[in-house]
Amino acid sequence: MKSSLLAAALIAGTATSVLAAPQKYLLDASHSQVVFAYNHLGFSTTTGMFSGFEGEIMFDQEDPAASTVAVSMPVLSMFTGWEQREAHFFSADFFGAKEGDLITFVSTGIEVTGDNTAKITGDLSMNGVTKPVVLDAKLNQMGDHPMAGKPWAGFDATTTIVRSEFNLGMFAPYVGDEVEVRISVEAMKADANDS
């Protein structure tokens, strides 16, 4: 998810100069979010989101498939719009969440599929379980940010996870086991002093 997460391979389609070393991009937490949706008893589609996450992209312009993505977000940043639902998700029935618990995504491979698209495979770690997932990613835009005055990239990605595979299967299959995930992320080129 974190991440992500994803733009390393996508930036290649609009790049015009060859760089000797991978370039670091940092996620803009204020304009990045993960939205999830699942079926509730066949009556509705229920949604929630995570925000305030961190991550970096090491973009290899000479070989985009060798780029990497790493993202993390606090479990307790989940927002559903209904406090009782969030409290239930944070309970032992689901995450058993406590301060400092993270959901992470670390890429393991990138396949460029078009001028502005890629499939990014990575390890999603959540609730003590790590499973591979594939993100279908699309570069929205790359260029200088009009206010920040530095290179910027924005992209979207989607995937579907099976929540019971992460020990989050309470009430499945009556409440949908498949969770659709939509990610929208902005990333800024790191300054020389960003470690």
Q: What is the mean pLDDT of residues 78-91?
A: 97
Q: What is the mean pLDDT of residues 116-128?
A: 95
pLDDT surpassing 60 at residue 127: yes
pLDDT surpassing 90 at residue 128: yes
Q: Where are the domains of the chain?
A: 23-189
pLDDT surpassing 50 at residue 13: no
**Position with higher pLDDT, 151 vs 14:** 151
pLDDT surpassing 90 at residue 31: yes
Tell me, rounded to whole angstroms, the distance of Cα 7 from its chain centroid: 10
User: What's the rounded Cα separation, in Å, for the pair 195 and 193?
Assistant: 6
What is the reported pLDDT for 125? 98
pLDDT surpassing 90 at residue 33: yes
Give pLDDT tens digits for 131-164.
Answer: 999 999 998 988 899 999 899 988 899 999 999 9
Give pLDDT tens digits for 161-188.
Answer: 999 999 999 999 999 999 999 999 999 9
What is the reported pLDDT for 99? 96
Percent of the chain with pLDDT over 70: 89
33 within 8 A of 77, measured Cβ to Cβ: no
Q: Which distant-in-sequence residues (6+ apart) come within 8 Å of 90 by Cβ? A: 75, 76, 78, 96, 97
What is the reported pLDDT for 66? 83
What is the reported pLDDT for 14? 40
The DSSP letter of residue 127 is T
The DSSP letter of residue 67 is -
CATH code of the domain made up of 23-189? 2.40.128.110
What is the reported pLDDT for 195? 59
Q: Which distant-in-sequence residues (6+ apart) come within 8 Å of 61 by Cβ? A: 11, 12, 15, 17, 18, 19, 22, 23
pLDDT surpassing 60 at residue 81: yes
Q: Output phi, psi for 67, to 5 deg.
A: -70, 165
